[in-house]
A and B are shown apart, each in its own frame.
Chain A
Amino acid sequence: MKTEETERLISKYLAGTATPDEERRLSLEVNRRDVPQEWRAIGVMLGELTLGEALYEQQVQHRRSHRRRIFAACAMAASLACVSLAGWWYFDGRQASDSENIAIAHIDGHTISDESLVRAMAEDAVCDIFETADEANADELDLFDM
């Protein structure tokens, strides 16, 4: 607290207009070491009960915020665990379905897993068969012609 603020609270206290909360704040301030003697007199007047109350509130507040921080850290850890678990479950499932869809063919002693390549090679093979069949038919016609 700044000196001006302390003096403002002292004036309010002496005027009888300070609230209990302001008195507690003032008590913490004027009970420090190395304060002017006039401030010390205010500390004596405010009494040990006000100081005790102020220290109590401070400690309870400190404990509450500490507990809140621990709770927030636990909540964050739990949500991170949930997200990672969900991610693992999703990607693992996707990987499994991908592996089920892999097209594997053994062509000329090679294992090919690229579906489009297998399809293209299959189409080429079918075309070869038709061409061979056409050539054979043509040969047969040639024989009849003869």
Chain B
Amino acid sequence: MTQQEFEHIAYTLRPMLTGIGRAYFGSADEAEDVAQEALLRLWRYAESMDGGCDLSRLAARIAKWCCVDIDRKRRAFAPPPLPGWDAEAAHSPHDELVGKETQQLLDKAISQLSPRERELFEMQQLEGLPADEIALRTGVSKTSVQSMASRARKKVFDELNKLMKQ
């Protein structure tokens, strides 16, 4: 995707992204920060994608993640406490390092997949698309998408478990 294409898409996505930020923070300034951060991250993803791909769903997911991340960094207020969920500790430098390591393990596990399985896995992983939408987009039947997704996930799961035990 070229920078010009992305700039055009970014212009159309911005209102949706600020809306997501406003729903979370309730303020226009923070919503602008969310939109800015989300577009920056989206550009990193978009560089590796082809021009015809619909980025709005991915942009929405990234914006939601940005809200949580900005909130966590600013510590303005804590997310609602979950029993056993330690938001402070989960983002210590040690945990970030562990996070990076597990991401590397995941990349390694994904590399074991066939190109078709990898494409499908990443579609679900990144864009959070349900099977029927992937079927529509790829032209493969929903049942085939589900069985391929299942095979890919089980492979990654087994490989990841093996790597994490080492």
Enumerate chain A interface residues (CB-CB to B < 8 A).
13-17, 19-20, 23, 28, 31-34, 37-38, 40-42, 44-53, 55-60, 62-63
Contact = CB atoms under 8 A, between A and B. Distances in A.
Contacts, number: 106
A20 B146 CA distance: 14
Given A45-B125, A56-B68, A15 B150 contact: yes
Given A37-B164, A38-B161, A62-B80, A32 B85 contact: yes
Nearest to B156: A45
Interface in B30-55: none
21 contacts: A14-B154, A16-B124, A16-B131, A16-B153, A17-B146, A28-B82, A37-B164, A44-B102, A44-B105, A44-B160, A45-B153, A47-B125, A47-B126, A49-B125, A49-B126, A50-B128, A52-B68, A52-B69, A56-B68, A57-B64, A58-B80
A25 to B, nearest CB: 12
Given A16-B150, A44-B106, A45-B106, A60 B160 contact: no
Given A16-B149, A41-B157, A44-B105, A60 B84 contact: no
B161 A41 contact: yes
B86 to A, nearest CB: 6
A59 B24 contact: yes
Range class of the B interface residue count: 35 or more
A38 to B, nearest CB: 6
Contacts of B111: none
Contacts of A42: 157
Interface of B: 20, 23-24, 26, 61-62, 64-69, 71, 79-80, 82-86, 89-90, 99, 102-103, 105-106, 124-126, 128, 130-131, 145-150, 153-154, 156-157, 160-161, 164-165
In this complex, the member of A37, A41, A50 whose beta carbon has the largest number of chain B beta carbons within 10 angstroms is A41
A14 B68 contact: no
Contacts of A41: 157, 160-161, 164
Contact of B64 (A19, A47, A56, A63): A56
The B interface, classified by DSSP as helix, strand, loop or mixed, is helix
B161 A53 contact: no
Nearest to A37: B164
Contacts of B65: 48-49, 51-53, 56
The A interface, classified by DSSP as helix, strand, loop or mixed, is helix
Given A44-B106, A52-B66, 17 more contacts: A14-B154, A16-B153, A20-B128, A20-B130, A28-B85, A32-B82, A32-B84, A33-B84, A37-B164, A38-B161, A45-B125, A48-B65, A49-B62, A49-B65, A52-B65, A53-B64, A59-B79
Contacts of A40: 164
A59 B80 contact: yes
Nearest to B131: A16
Given A14-B154, A14-B157, A45-B153, A60 B23 contact: yes
